[in-house]
Structure 1
Amino acid sequence: MIYEFRVAVRDIGVPIWRDIQVNSDETFYDFNSIIQAAFSWSGFFEHRFEITRSGGSDLLPIIIEETPLDTLEDYTDESDFREYSNEEREDVDEIEENEYDYYDENDSAENEDQQLLKYFTDIDDAATYIYFTDAVLEVDIQLTEMVAPQEDCSYPICVAAENASPDEMEDRPTILQNRDKLKLTDTQDLIRLINFALSQLGDSDIFDTEYEDFGSEYAIDTNWDDVPPDETEDSPPNF
């Protein structure tokens, strides 16, 4: 089953939204990556989901937080083992096992039980996505359609969108001051760029052919060998 969500940034002063189709069995961990790509954010800040309507009924928010990775020290990096003896490696393995004993997997949006289809079962089921930037960006999520997957389509995919997203590094006064700059008229170009970003998540290759030369076409030319002879050696090339 394919879910279509309207995801809309709240309280910016201009309408900023995306209609995104995703597989219903996606985890909230993956859904976070999809939202980040759709709004051209980096995932640098913490986030959480709050389920506010499920099964057609309003409810007190069910909070699904991101995995608190900073509470788990990663002992799997081979660079950590370069100077360890076999006995020391065994000690590290034991520490790693004990650390995971304190970790409640049910708190993780990556847990297999935390799939979208568990909470989104009826049209208009809803959630809030909170991205803890300086501006604390909030995104309203609403299930608008449930459709059968198309054989010639890969998911996730953006089917409609309006306006550019706010810069995650700006505070709220700056975002509100510059909100008119977020207004876009070419929605089709916006949708193409969003789908290019979604295709980079590894779950969709529908736009790979169209954008196979994307990098070379838009990349900044840093090849100093192309500087014309009449330009000084210290001058960067035009781009």
Structure 2
Amino acid sequence: MIYEFRIAVRDIGVPIWRDIQVNSDETFYDFNSIIQAAFSWSGFFEHRFEITRSGGTDLLPIIIEETPLDIVEDYTDESDFGEYYDENREEVNELEETDYDNYDENDSAENEDQTLQKYFTDIDDAATYIYFTDAVIEVDIQLKEMVAPREDCSYPICVAAENASPDEMEDRTTILQNRDKLKLTDTQDLIRLINFALSQLGDSDIFDTEYEDFGSEYAIDTSWDDALPDDTEDSPPEY
């Protein structure tokens, strides 16, 4: 099953949203990567999901979050976060609850054990995604459609979008002062750029030196707004 989500940045003063279609069996770990790519953020800061409506019923938020770095360091043998990312990383649910004051049975390291279809079962089921930058960016997530997958389509895919993303490195005051710069007129080019970013998920080539500023440029730079479309599938668009 394919889920179509409306994913919208909250309270920026400019409507900033993406309609993204994803497989329903994606994990929240993967969904985080999809959101980051769709808004051209780096994933540098911590995040969490708060499920606010599931099965057609409003809920007290169910928290699904990435393990904080300090907690991980406290509970790995080497106290080295680099070890956390190897094949033998320790999962939160393997920790002793008596030793972990903030333990929650809904939490797991990097959201790996929680799938979208576990919580999103009815149209209009919803969540909030919180990205803990200096601005603390909040994003509303709402399930809009459930459709059969198309054989000629690769997922995830952006099917509609409006306006550029706020810069994750700016504080809220600066974002609000510069919000008019986020307004874009070329919606189709924006969608094309987002889909290029989504197509690169899991591909380290996007982070080569030649492309290191690619994401940040299309998040806030509108110089490409009137650029001609680039039909090349395997390289970033020219500005």
Query: Normalised by the size of structure 2, how large is the TM-score?
Result: 0.74
Q: Secondary structure at the match of 2:37?
A: helix
Give CA deviations for 1:175-219 in whole Å, capped at 9, x if unaligned. Answer: 00000000000011100110111111139xxxxx8322437x56x
Equivalent in the alignment of 2:187? 187
Give the Cα separation in 2 of the matches to 1:152 and 1:128: 31
Give the Cα separation in 1 of the matches to 2:189 and 2:144: 23
Q: Secondary structure at the match of 2:42?
A: coil
Equivalent in the alignment of 2:111? 110
Query: Partner letter of residue 64 of structure 2?
Result: I
Give the Cα separation in 1 of the matches to 2:235 and 2:32: 27
Query: Partner letter of residue 123 of structure 1?
Result: I
Equivalent in the alignment of 2:120? 120
Give CA deviations for 1:47-70 in whole Å, capped at 9, x if unaligned. Answer: 100000000011111011113344
1:174 shift after superposition: 0.5
Equivalent in the alignment of 2:223? none
Spell out structure 1 runs of 4+ moving beyond 6 A. Answer: none
* Contact preservation (8 Å) 2:2, 2:23: yes
User: Pairwise CA RMSD of aligned residues?
Assistant: 2.8
Q: Secondary structure at the match of 1:17?
A: strand
Q: Does 1:67 align with 2:89?
A: no
Query: Normalised by the size of structure 1, how large is the TM-score?
Result: 0.74
Structure 1: runs of 5+ lacking an equivalent? 81-92, 204-208, 219-239
Q: Does 1:137 align with 2:137?
A: yes
1:101 shift after superposition: 4.0
Paired residues, what number?
A: 195
Taking the TM superposition and a 5 Å limit, the aligned residue runs for 1:170-209 are 170-202=170-202
Equivalent in the alignment of 1:18? 18
Task: Decide which structure has the larger Cα Rg and report it.
Answer: 1
Taking the TM superposition and a 5 Å limit, the aligned residue runs for 1:160-171 are 160-171=160-171
Equivalent in the alignment of 1:41? 41
Equivalent in the alignment of 2:234? 212
Give the Cα separation in 2 of the matches to 1:165 and 1:110: 24
Identity value in percent: 84
Equivalent in the alignment of 2:150? 150
